[in-house]
Structure 1
Amino acid sequence: MAFDSLKTEIKNIIAQSGISVDDKLTKICELLQTNIPYYDWVGFYFKNGDKEELKLRSFAGEPTDHTIIPFGKGICGQVAVSNKNFVVPDVKAQDNYIACSIFVKAEIVIPLFLNGENIGQIDIDSNTADPFTQEDEDFLEFVNAEVAKILA
């Protein structure tokens, strides 16, 4: 499924009434993980209250032990501090990488902003080496902008 048609699906999920924010986040994770062949794990992490850590809120894919990630640790923790997209073509080349699965070869993490503040992120793990392009970054920035609308 092309990114353009997925954008329509994302907007439809965001617009649904009668379901919780968490259900919408899970539906988005499942949509991406099911329709993009190299998105093997998709999750949303959010700042955990006043703590300097991220907490996993919704995901699709294999369960992970990494439900809490300290700021600065791993790719997700680095994005929480840098406020910048982080694309990792080869996780083995990263010193500060938290391995979630032996099958993961690449990762992309895009911060999620609400009113200019980095409140969370979408995290994608791929079992395919170096699959992410600028098109993925742009698409995931769109996803996060849509998600921000239901968090306000």
Structure 2
Amino acid sequence: MTFQELQPKITAIIADTDHSRDEKLLNICQLLSDTIDYYNWVGFYFANHENKTLHLGPYVGAETDHTVIPFGKGICGQVAVSNENFVVPDVAAQDNYIACSFTVKSEIVVPLFVNGQNIGQIDIDSHVLDPFTEADEKFLEFVNQEVAKLF
């Protein structure tokens, strides 16, 4: 399924009035994990700006010990500070990478903005080296624009 074909499915999940926000986020994670073969872990982290930490929200994939991440630490923590997409083609080449699993080879993190403020991010790990393209970035920016409507 192409990113273009996935867009209306994301919009439909957001518009669904029968589910809570967390259920909708989980449904998005499941959809992405099920339909994009190199999306092996898909989850959301949300910012606590007072404590300068990210907190794990709904996700699909292997369990993680990284339920709270300080701003600046790891790829997610860096995105909380930079407010910019971060694509890591090879996690082994990153100095500030928090290893989740030896199976993770690459990662993409795209910030989630509501009213101009970075409130969190979508984080995707892949078991494949360098699979993420500009098309992934654009699609995940679309996903986050839709998710922002829930806040």
Distance 1:20 1:49 in 2: 24
Q: How many Å apart are 1:18 and its aligned residue?
A: 2.1
Distance 2:8 2:33 in 1: 16
Structure 2's unaligned 5+ residue stretches are none
Distance 1:63 1:22 in 2: 17
Q: Which amino acid counterpart does residue 73 of structure 2 have in structure 1?
A: K
| Residue 137 (structure 1) aligns with | 137
Q: How does 1:79-94 map to 2 (within 5 A)?
A: 79-94=79-94
Normalised TM-score (structure 1): 0.98
Distance 1:26 1:113 in 2: 19
Q: Which runs of 4+ in 1 moved over 6 A?
A: none
Deviations 1:72-93 (A, max 9, x none): 0000000000000000000000
Q: How does 1:108-127 map to 2 (within 5 A)?
A: 108-127=108-127
SS at structure 2 position matched to 1:122: strand
Distance 2:50 2:9 in 1: 33
Q: How many Å apart are 1:49 and its aligned residue?
A: 5.7
| Residue 97 (structure 1) aligns with | 97
Number of corresponding residues: 151
Distance 1:14 1:142 in 2: 12
Is residue 3 of structure 1 aligned with residue 17 of structure 2? no
Q: Which amino acid counterpart does residue 92 of structure 1 have in structure 2?
A: A
Q: Which amino acid counterpart does residue 113 of structure 1 have in structure 2?
A: F
Percent identity of the aligned residues?
A: 65
Distance 1:78 1:33 in 2: 24
